[in-house]
């Protein structure tokens, strides 16, 4: 098709929105639904008349679970396609890959997945959970409700699990947990053979102390992991697993019978009974023409990010990056659990923390829910972070500001 001749006119007639999610490779099991979610949100917004009098036009690319390719595709979306904002990434390694591109080209990324914290970038809005909105409350729940004393921190071998477990190690130590009561294991993306690891977990859990697995295993490796737990007779009442990357979408892919009773910590579950959620599920299933299509936490985070971006563009009267960055701080939008999400000065949002127990129908029964918690960019439990904060409003305007030295990233602040 003759794109070249038409491109300038199309660019003026529509507002382009980038979609940067893996549609192939190990992360496609999780990310494909987020691509569909953005297309759904764009369709809904266009039915309302679009934005600033223009229709929204999605531009979809497939970075194929290839982390360097994320940067290349991000550059293509911004520099070639001229998108106004990008919704995308799942893994932290993919997000880290694109950060320099968004900074260099001064565009906006909405990142919708729980992550390890230790970051606040001017061009990124983190609508998924920070550790204090998922990992820390999950450990608290297991301590207080399950009496857990020994901990298996099992994760995929990349930055999110490594940093999250570093924070959890420090947190557990602050709670008096001895080093010998913490076992840490990392596996590659796509890990398929779990026999030895599950045996090790069983042995670790046989010391007479209540043991739990805190799982930051990501992508399609979760399927054989849970199957092997069942194969070796590891039941939820014996060694519960609480997962940070297993939601309704992942459970839809395999027999959930062996998983019943295991847990997940998120900020949203499809089973939440609110008018907002019921309306969203109905509209989503109508859009997909599939009454069995599930919803999940990163979808809700995508919805929140999209709605805040729309509000910010309307408030600014333009899609200009700098104007939208200024306009979005402090904006609020309903979440799907009956509360309100607010964009904070550190580019994180407020979220309730929910613990869900897996049911035999692939849904979660909510067993614990907190009031909304503001996301912390920097952990309170790492010594190097004690004095670090993030605030993108004047006069600080910095993602890693040292409150003791009054410096930003090691450079004297302009305040």
pLDDT in tens, 294-328: 999 999 999 999 999 999 999 999 999 999 999 99
**224 and 138 within one domain:** yes
Is residue 389 within 8 A of residue 321, CB to CB? The reply is: no
| Segments forming the whole domain that contains residue 311 | 3-129+274-350
pLDDT value, residue 251 = 83
Domain for residue 116, yes or no?
Answer: yes
Q: pTM for the full model?
A: 0.90
Compute the half-sphere exposure of residue 266: CA atoms within 13 Å on the CB side of its CA: 30
Check whether 109 has a pLDDT greater than 60. yes
DSSP letter string, 19-64: EE--SSSTTHHHHHHHHHHHHHHHHHHHHTT-BTTBEEEEEEE--T
Per the structure, how many domains does the chain have?
3
Using only C-alpha atoms, the chain has a radius of gyration, in whole angstroms, of 21
Q: For residues 371-380, give the mean pLDDT.
A: 96
* Residue 170 token pair: 């420090």
Is residue 15 within 8 A of residue 52, CB to CB? The reply is: yes
10 Å Cβ neighbour count for 90?
29
Residues 349, 361: Cα–Cα separation, whole Å: 31
Residue 222: name the closest of 246, 200, 244, 198 by CA.
Answer: 246
Residue 261: name the closest of 393, 356, 340, 371 by CA.
Answer: 356
Domain for residue 345, yes or no?
Answer: yes
**231 and 325 within one domain:** no
Is the pLDDT higher at 28 or at 410? 28
Domain for residue 366, yes or no?
Answer: no
Decide which of 205, 238, 266 is a domain's last residue: 266
Domain for residue 388, yes or no?
Answer: yes
CATH number at residue 45: 3.40.50.2300
| pLDDT over 70, % of the chain | 96
**162 and 120 within one domain:** no
pLDDT digits (tens, 9 = 90+) for 27-79: 998 899 999 999 999 999 999 999 999 999 999 999 999 999 999 999 999 99
pLDDT value, residue 4 = 43
Decide which of 243, 266, 289 is a domain's last residue: 266
Domain for residue 296, yes or no?
Answer: yes
**86 and 19 within one domain:** yes
Domain for residue 376, yes or no?
Answer: no
Domain for residue 14, yes or no?
Answer: yes
* Residue 413 token pair: 């602040």
Handedness of CA 381, 382, 383, 384 (dihedral sign): negative
**212 and 159 within one domain:** yes
**302 and 201 within one domain:** no
Domain for residue 9, yes or no?
Answer: yes
**86 and 27 within one domain:** yes
**152 and 113 within one domain:** no
Residue 224: name the closest of 258, 249, 186 by CA.
Answer: 258
Decide which of 210, 235, 266 is a domain's last residue: 266
Check whether 222 has a pLDDT greater than 80. yes
**32 and 15 within one domain:** yes
Check whether 116 has a pLDDT greater than 70. yes
**260 and 143 within one domain:** yes
**346 and 257 within one domain:** no
pLDDT value, residue 12 = 64
**124 and 202 within one domain:** no
Name the average pLDDT for the chain.
93
């Amino acid at each position: 098709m003759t794109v070249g001749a038409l491109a300038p006119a199309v660019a003026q007639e529509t507002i382009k929105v980038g979609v940067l999610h893996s549609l192939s490779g190990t992360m496609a099991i999780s990310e494909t639904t987020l691509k569909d979610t953005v297309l759904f949100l764009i369709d809904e917004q266009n039915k309302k008349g679009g934005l600033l009098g223009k229709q929204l036009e999605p531009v979809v690319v497939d970075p194929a679970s290839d982390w360097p390719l994320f940067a290349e595709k991000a550059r293509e979306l911004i520099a070639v396609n001229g998108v106004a904002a990008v919704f995308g990434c799942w893994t932290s390694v993919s997000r880290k890959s694109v950060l320099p591109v968004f900074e260099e080209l001064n565009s906006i990324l909405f990142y919708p997945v729980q992550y390890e914290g230790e970051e606040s970038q001017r061009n990124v809005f983190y609508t998924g959970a920070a550790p204090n909105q998922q990992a820390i409350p999950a450990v608290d729940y297991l301590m207080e409700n399950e009496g857990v004393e020994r901990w298996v921190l099992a994760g995929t071998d990349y930055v999110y699990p490594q940093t999250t477990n570093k924070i959890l190690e420090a947190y557990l130590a602050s709670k008096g947990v001895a080093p010998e009561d913490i076992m840490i294991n990392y596996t590659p993306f796509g890990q398929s053979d779990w026999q030895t690891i599950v045996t090790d977990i069983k042995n670790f859990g046989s010391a007479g102390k209540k043991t739990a697995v805190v799982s930051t295993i990501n992508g399609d490796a979760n399927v054989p992991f849970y199957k092997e737990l069942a194969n070796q007779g590891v039941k939820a009442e014996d060694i519960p697993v609480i997962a940070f990357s297993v939601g309704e979408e992942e459970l839809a892919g395999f027999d959930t019978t062996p998983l019943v009773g295991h847990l997940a910590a998120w900020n949203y579950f499809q089973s939440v009974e609110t008018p907002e959620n019921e309306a969203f599920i109905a509209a989503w299933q109508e859009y997909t023409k599939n009454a069995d299509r599930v919803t999940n936490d990163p979808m809700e985070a995508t919805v929140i990010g999209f709605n805040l971006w729309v509000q910010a563009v309307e408030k600014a009267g333009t899609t200009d990056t700098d104007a939208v960055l200024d306009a979005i701080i402090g904006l609020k939008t309903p979440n799907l659990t009956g509360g309100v999400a607010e964009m904070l000065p550190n580019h994180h949002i407020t979220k309730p923390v929910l613990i869900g127990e897996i049911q035999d129908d692939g849904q979660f029964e909510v067993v614990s829910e907190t009031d909304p918690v503001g996301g912390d960019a920097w952990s309170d439990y790492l010594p190097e972070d004690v004095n670090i904060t993030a605030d993108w409003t004047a006069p600080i305007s910095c993602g890693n500001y040292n409150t003791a030295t009054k410096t930003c990233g090691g450079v004297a602040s302009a305040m």
